[in-house]
Structure 1
C-alpha cells in the first residue's frame, strides 16, 4: 500500500505542476514557449485526476489532503471557465446576442434560419457561415460580409471594419468590428474566427497501434504549435480594436482556443467572460469530439452586465452548439 501511495503522490505532484503550467499562459506567449498552451488542452483531464487524488488522500486520512485542497483553490477560477453554476439574475435584459459557427450551413440553411428567427435576438454573429449562403433573419439586416464571418442586426449599423483578412493559404482567420447603435447607445461588436487547426477525426482518433498512435500524436503537435503562434499574431489586431474602442465592447466568436489558453487570457483582458459571470452548467460548445471542448465565447466590457449565458444543446445546427447571452447596460 505504501508503494501505491508513493506512486499516487508523485502523480499528484506532477499533475499539480502541469496545472500551474496552464496558468502561465497569462504571461508566456506561444512564440516564446508554446508548450504551456498545449497543456491548456488537457486542463479538464488534469483537473479531474487532481480532484480524484485529493479525494483519495481525504479518504486515507492523510494530512497532505489539506495541502492539496488549499493548493487546488488556485484553480477555482480556471474551473468555472468550463463548468459554472451562477444564480439566475431576474433583471430585464437590454440586449440578446447569438454566436454560432455555422459550418458552412451544411446542416441546413433553413434550420439555422428557423432557429435564429425563433430566438428573437438583437445581434447574430456567424462564423464559417458559407460564402454562398444568403440567410434571411426576420427584421435583421446583414453587415458587410467577410469570407468566414458575418453580422446581422435589428439595429442601425454605424461603421464596419475588417480586422483580420484571410489569404486562404497561410492564414484562414478572420475578425471584424461593427459599431451598432442600440436604443441611443453605440456598442462595438467584434466577431472573431481565429486560425482553425483543421483536424479530421481520423487524425486524432487512436486505434491501439502504438507506432501509428505515436505518429498521430506527433502530427497533432506539429499542427498545434504553429497554429498557437499564428493566434498570437492574430489577436494583436483584435486587442487594438478593443483597447482603442470609444464604445463598450462585446467580443464573440469561435476562438479555436480553450479556456486557460494564451488566447483566452489575452482576449479577455479588460473584459468579462459572460459564462463566468452568468453561466450555468457546462460551457462545452464543440460537440464533434467526445472530449469536452469550449472554443466559442462571448465577452463584454465591464459596463455591459451579463445576465444569462446558454450553450443551446437542444439543436444541432453544425458541429458547434449556438451560444446565447443576454446583457444589461449599466447606466
Structure 2
C-alpha cells in the first residue's frame, strides 16, 4: 500500500469497499428479508459487484500489483455466483425429439400502453412463438388481445383480474391439462398458477410464478431523481412481500404429487433469499445449459437475470435460450427438457 501512488491508493480503497460488499452479498440467500430488508436490496446489485471486482482484478493484473489478490480471492470464494451471472461454456443443445419445450415470457400486456414505439409488438411476439413453437408457454402480465392468436395451443389456464383491463398469468399447452389452480397472494395482483400436464405417460406440474415487482422505474435517469431513502424503503418492503409470497408458494409446492417445472418472473436475482427458497433441490435451466450473461430484463447498465425456468433434478436440460428481441421489458427464455 505504501508503494502505491495516490491515485492507486484511492482505487484500492474503492476496490476494498466493492470487494467487501460482494463478500457480504454471499450471505444474502440465507438472510430473510423480513429480518434485514435493507440488506436484501443488495441482491439487485450483485451482478454489478461481480463485474466491478473482475475489472479491478484486471486493472491490478495489468499493473502487475499484488492487490489483484483481493478481488481475485473474493471472486474465487463466490465462484458459484460468477457461474450464475455468466456461463463461460457454449450453450448445450442436444436434439431430442421427445423433449418437452417450455417458454417463459413476461409480455408486459403485449405493449397495451405503447411503452415500445411500435404497432407490431403483438404480431412480432406471435411470430417469435410460432417460429420457436414451444410445447408449453408461461406468460406473466398476460392480457387477452384480439391480435394475439394462440389457437394452436389447445389447452390453457388463465388467472386474470382487473375491472376495465383483465390481466394476470397464463399457461398455454399443446398437451392436455388435467388439473389447474392458483396460489393467491394477499394485497396484490401477483400470484402463482399451476397446470398439471400429461405428456405420454407422464403427468407434470407446471408452475407459473410472478412475485411482487419492485415498483421502481429501472431507468437510471429516473432513479437519480428518486429520494434514496424512499427508494430503499420501497425496495425493502417489496422484498418482504416477496418472502411472504414465496412462503405461500412453497407450502403449495411441497404438496405436489408430481415432478415439477417452475417458470416465472421472480422480480429478484439468483442471489436472493426467495430464489434459493423456491429453487430448493431443482435445477436452474440456465445454469445447466445456457451461456453468456443470461440477461432476462431490459436494464441498460448491467445484466439482470430475474426470469427463471427451474426443473426437477431428475430431468435433463438439453438446451436453454434467451431471445434478444426487445418486445417487452423482459426477454423470453426457453428450455428443452428430457423427462426420461
TM-score interval for Structure 1 and Structure 2 normalised by the shorter chain: 0.7 to 0.9
Moved more, 62-71 or 255-264: 62-71
Asked whether the 8 Å contact 1:288–1:320 carries over to 2, the reply is: no
Match of 1:258 among 269, 282, 294: 269
Which of these residues, 239, 247, 252, is aligned with residue 250 of structure 2?
239
Paired residues of 2:50 and 2:75 also in contact (CA < 8 A) = no
Matched, 1:44 2:47: yes
Task: Output the TM-score relative to the length of structure 1.
Answer: 0.88
SS at 2:227 equivalent: helix
Q: Equivalent residue for 2:102?
A: 97
Matches within 5 A, 1:68-217: 68-87=71-90, 88-92=92-96, 94-106=99-111, 108-131=121-144, 135-147=148-160, 148-165=168-185, 170-200=187-217, 205=222, 213=225, 215-217=226-228
Q: How far apart are 1:42 and its partner, in Å?
A: 1.2
What is the CA distance between 1:56 and its match in structure 2? 2.9
Which is worse superposed, 3-12 or 321-330? 3-12
Residues 242 and 70 of structure 1: is their aligned pair in 2 closer, same or farther, counting only changes over 3 Å?
same
Structure 2 Cα separation of the partners of residues 140 and 287 of structure 1: 28
Change (3 A) 1:85 1:242: farther
Runs of at least 4 residues off by over 4 Å: 131-135, 201-204
Aligned equivalent of 2:164 = none
Give the secondary-structure state (helix, strand or coil) at the position aligned to 1:283. Answer: coil
CA distance in 1, matches of 2:156, 2:11: 56
**Number of aligned residue pairs:** 320
What TM-score does the superposition give when structure 2 sets the normalisation length? 0.86
Aligned to 2:290: 279
Offset at residue 195 of structure 1 (A): 0.9
**Distance 1:121-1:9 versus aligned 2 partners, 3 A rule:** same
Cα drift, residue 187 of structure 1: 0.9
RMSD: 2.3
Residue in 1 that maps onto 2:117: none
Contact 1:285 1:323 survives alignment (8 Å): yes
Question: Which stretch has the larger CA shift, 46-55 or 293-302?
Answer: 46-55
Runs of 5+ consecutive residues of structure 1 not aligned to the other structure: 208-212
Task: State the match for 1:31 in structure 2.
Answer: 34
Q: Which residue is 1:210 aligned to?
A: none
Distance 1:30 1:325 in 2: 30
C-alpha separation between the residues in 1 aligned to 2:52 and 2:219? 27
**Structure 2: gaps (5+ residues):** 112-119, 161-167
User: Aligned equivalents of 1:76 and 1:158: distance in 2?
Assistant: 42
